[in-house]
Amino acid sequence: MRILIVEDDKYFRERIIKFCQLEGVEMTAAENGLSAKRRLEEEIFDAVVTDLNMPGMTGLDLLKWIQEEGPSLPVIMMSGYGDIYDAVEAMKRGAQDYLVKPFDLDEFLIRLKRLVESRRLQDQIEIGKRNFSEMQNWIGESPAMKKVTAIVEQIAPTSSTVLINGESGTGKEVIARAIHRLSPRANKPFVALNMGGVPETLLESELFGYEKGAFTGASTRKLGMFELASSGTLFLDEVGDMPIHLQIKLLRVLQERKIQRLGGTQNIPIDVRIITATNKNLEEQLKKGLFREDLYYRLNVLQITLPTLRDRKEDIPLLVGHFIKQFTRREGKPVYQIDPEAVRALQTYPFPGNVRELENMIERAIILAQTETITLKDLGIHQTAPQPSVRRGTLDEIQKQAIIEALQRWEGNKTRAAEELGINRRTILNKLKEYDLTEFAKM
């Protein structure tokens, strides 16, 4: 149990801290409201105990900030005046308890522990309520997706690291978020970082943060992803793109459960569940010396492999219905139907960009559709759907052809082609190299 106490009276503050620490409670002090606000922005607590009357930012001001912008925490208000109006006002604004100083410390501790335990029970109830709705939003009735669902339900309650494998667009972050929301950490932060989307020179500071003056331009201290995800879940997407020198640092964090900010000397303990994802074959990366074997086994404690959309075509009508509902609501358009011919065309399309490509296709169709029924023409599938003679072959051949056609349609615009395929621009560039499509790389 970690408590923030906000009290400008040093003697009274230290007295409470010493008593609670002897009882095994971790206490952190702030001498005023502004100091408390900074602490709450940077650290994780189970409850706040604050004085009502303080210079500058009062206890009520701090309570208002917590209610509107800060973390969702129970608050106990203290006052030396015993004014009934203040007590009523504090409770009305959301304080869970109100104490008049001086008070019995044993009684205070009992009430504090009861309050924190009550909040934890409420959180668990909310997690339980969410479980059903979370699985309802799980789009897919195919055997492949039912298997994934069963694995997620089994591993979510644990704190073990998870490695999610799957092609781009299969929904790796969706799965990671679901694991988090179904876990005991659900009410703590979920922080995501795409390793392939951050320049290598910035990755280390993004992960570990930095101290003021650590390098030119570091005018203030910045918390990294590990600290921002404290007590929650850190999702590292495209972990196969992580440089070797950072792989070594990540391995050390997993072993020691401590980090050090850039420019700092302090070892900072962390409590974070790590979920990673990749669209690469990490075992092949091991053989090529591009990924550390010891890190691989640390990350691969629990593994989920996501099916491609090609391998669960029976889910396409469900996904289409979900995306139609989502985008018509967002765009404020009437509920659309979809022509059966269009659905059949979607079920024969190879979807190199997987679910993300289907999502983009339905979004575009809803925006461009002239009637309340989405047709084959609205999907653009008559342009992008390949003929069987063209699409026979290996997955690489299918992907290569899809990329060529998308780039031709967009006259070499890689960003637009990537959006159509449901992948990112960097993946397009990597594929152009992989397939030796130099004429498109220069466009």
CA–CA gap between residue 39 and residue 62 (Å, rounded): 12
DSSP 90-145: HHHTT-SEEEESS--HHHHHHHHHHHHHHHHHHHHHHHHHHHHHHHHT----SHHH
Phi-psi region of 7 (alpha: psi -120 to 50; beta: other; left: phi over 0): beta
Element holding 59 (H helix, E strand): helix 59-68
Do 168 and 353 contact (CB within 8 A), yes or no?
Answer: yes
**In what side-by-side order are the strands of the sheet with 97-100?**
26-30, 2-6, 47-51, 75-79, 97-100
Q: How much is the pTM? A: 0.61
Determine the 3-state secondary structure of 337 from DSSP. Answer: strand
Domain ranges, ordered by start, for the chain: 2-122, 157-305, 309-379, 395-440
CATH topology for 157-305?
Rossmann fold (3.40.50)
DSSP 146-184: HHHHHHHHHHTTS---EEEE--TTS-HHHHHHHHHHTST
CATH topology for 395-440?
Arc Repressor Mutant, subunit A (1.10.10)
Please state the φ and ψ torsions of residue 400, each to the nearest 5 degrees: -60, -45
Query: What's the CATH architecture for 2-122?
Result: 3-Layer(aba) Sandwich (3.40)
Query: What's the CATH architecture for 309-379?
Result: Orthogonal Bundle (1.10)
Q: Do domains 2-122 and 157-305 have the same CATH topology?
A: yes
Q: List, run by run, the mean pLDDT of 10-residue segments along the chain (443 residues).
A: 91 92 92 90 89 88 88 87 73 87 90 84 52 52 88 93 94 92 91 89 91 87 92 95 94 94 91 96 92 95 94 88 84 77 87 92 87 85 43 60 79 77 78 78 61
* Residue (of 204, 208, 187) closest to 195 by Cα position: 204
